[in-house]
Amino acid sequence: MLEYKVVELGMVTGDKLEHVVNTWVQQGWQLDGVRFAMRDSSKRPAMAFVFFTREVRLDVQGEGVDG
């Protein structure tokens, strides 16, 4: 089963994006993409949503199994 994680960044900088990606990839998540929310009055993103996925094994009852 595929599991999803979305991390919201209220302040978008290269350092913050790097930190979020490195933190979650080290925990076994794979980067799926980044979406930016823009303001009309600025060329800089107002927010970013960073998407990750990972495979989760299920036992016979449909519960998640670690590992």
The residue ranking higher by pLDDT, 61 or 51, is: 51
Give the integer Cα–Cα distance in Å for 9 and 67: 29
At 3-26, the pLDDT tens digits run 999 999 999 999 999 999 999 999
Query: Phi/psi at 18 (nearest 5 deg)?
Result: -60, -45
pTM: 0.81
The residue ranking higher by pLDDT, 49 or 1, is: 49
H-run or E-run covering 26: helix 14-26
